Amino acid sequence: MGNKVFIATSLDGFIADKNGNIDWLHENPSPSGNDGGYSDFIQTVDALIMGRGTYETVLGFDCEWPYSKKVFVLSNSLKEVDPSLKGKAEVITGNLRQIVKDLNDQGYRNLYIDGGKTIQSFLREGLIDELIITQVPILLGNGIPLFGELSDRVRLKHLDTKAFDNGLVQSHYTVKM
């Protein structure tokens, strides 16, 4: 059981550029067609919790809703998700610890936590157990940062780092309790 981050960043630590664009994530196609471990990772979670910012970005993609797992959209401003996502996604709000407890009680025990502000809030609350961070070989100079202020230091245990054939470098950490 745990709350996991699986996210790509620029080498200088941004998850999107200052306009929210993530086109640079797809500039390094893999010669062997590897997906950076995403399909293996997504099998390990029961549901996603994502911030409204990430939800709106994904909703704007010119493709089908990409998630096979239930998505909970963290928002204090949205009332409902897009009608096309009925049954696939829902809005949640409130205290993060309580949200996680409620979802765990409903059987969603392994949660994929996504979105910069959302990940930062979960880290501040001590609610992240694992981080899998894939660095893309690009410097953006500015943008939306993955990490931000913390209430306390977060100590990590490094489990593994692998380099993919397209130059992406992925490190896997657990959070020391």
User: Which positions touch ligand NAP (CB under 6 A)?
Assistant: 7-8, 15-16, 20, 22, 25, 50-54, 57, 74-78, 96, 114-118, 121, 144
For residue 7 the two structure tokens come to 């996210």
Q: Which is nearer to ligand NAP, 114 or 130 (CB)?
A: 114
CB-closest chain residue to ligand NAP: 51
Calpha distance 6→35 (Å, rounded)? 13
CA pair distance 1, 127, nearest whole angstrom: 12
Nearest distance from C-beta of residue 16 to ligand NAP, angstroms: 3
Choice between 114 and 129, CB closer to ligand NAP:
114
Q: How far is the CB of 32 from ligand NAP (least distance, A)?
A: 21
Phi, psi of 25 (to 5 degrees): -65, -25
Q: Shortest Cβ distance from residue 24 to ligand NAP (Å)?
A: 9
| Spatial distance between the Cα atoms of 26 and 82, rounded to a whole number of angstroms | 26
Nearer to ligand NAP, 57 or 110 (CB): 57
Cβ proximity to ligand NAP: between 120 and 129 the closer is: 120
Closest approach, Cβ 122 to ligand NAP, in A, equals 8
Nearest to ligand NAP of 3, 116 (CB atom):
116
Instruction: Decide: residue 118, CB within 10 A, 0-12 exposed, 13-18 middle, 19+ buried.
Output: buried
Distances (CA, A) of 59 to 3, 21, 29, 158: 23, 14, 23, 33
Q: Which helix (H) or strand (E) holds 174?
A: strand 169-175
Q: Of the candidates 171, 159, 163, which has an alpha carbon nearest to the alpha carbon of residue 28? A: 163
Q: How far is the CB of 133 from ligand NAP (least distance, A)?
A: 9
